[in-house]
Amino acid sequence: MAPAPVDHEARRTTLAETVVELVDEQGLEAVSVRAVAARAGVSIGTVQHYFPTKDAMLMHAQVLANAAVGARAEAAAEHTETPREALRAIILAVLPTDEESARVVRVFVAFETRALHAPALAERARRDNSELRAAIEHLLRLGGAAEPRLNAIATIALLGGLCQHLLLDAAACTPEDAAAIVDLLLRRILP
């Protein structure tokens, strides 16, 4: 009897999801071919078959992490009616205000930090950041903001800072504080 066919893309995705779990729970330093194989219940050779290098494994996991952030943002903006509502919904959806969003942001931040010293991850991070900046700039332009490019950069910078505060010092910056800060920003940049 022939072995059952393997869905290679599903296997690659499962292994990348395992990387994401490890990063969330223990940080990037916990990720190794051995750790991923053990967590996924497969051989080291299986992991190496799908990801010949650790960077290849991290790259695929980074794509998954970024897609999770993008999916949250898109879902949040789906039923909004104005550029201001869409922008607010996107920002609030990305902020780590519950366990699921905190997990997504922890992994995203870990990959962004690793990208500072890994050219392939940095290229992917630049591309994703560029798409986010363009989407925010577009919403700002639609909403009539002055200097939409600069305000898009400022919005992303604020988002990053709020994520850091919410993850590291939730007592000093609560989700309600973060929402109030987002509203303050939007009042200042959108007429």
Question: Cα(78)–Cα(119) distance, rounded to whole angstroms?
Answer: 34
Question: What is the domain class of 59-189 according to CATH?
Answer: mainly alpha
- Which long-range CB contacts under 8 A does 28-35 form with residues at least 24 apart? 28/58, 28/110, 28/111, 28/113, 28/114, 31/57, 31/58, 31/61, 33/57
The pTM of the full predicted model, rounded to 2 decimals, is 0.83
10-residue mean pLDDT series, the chain (191 residues): 72 92 92 94 94 88 85 91 95 91 88 88 89 94 96 95 92 93 95 80
Domain ranges of the chain: 59-189
d(CA 179, CA 171): 15
Q: Is the Cβ–Cβ distance between 132 and 48 less than 8 Å?
A: no
> What is the model's pLDDT at position 159?
94
pLDDT confidence of residue 170: 83
Q: In the prediction, which pLDDT does 125 show?
A: 87
Q: How far is CA 147 from CA 80, 90, 94, 142, in A?
A: 23, 20, 23, 12
* CA-based R_g, the chain, Å: 19
The backbone torsions φ and ψ at residue 140, rounded to the nearest 5 degrees and listed phi first, read: -65, -40
In this prediction, residue 118 carries a pLDDT of 87
pLDDT score at 3? 60
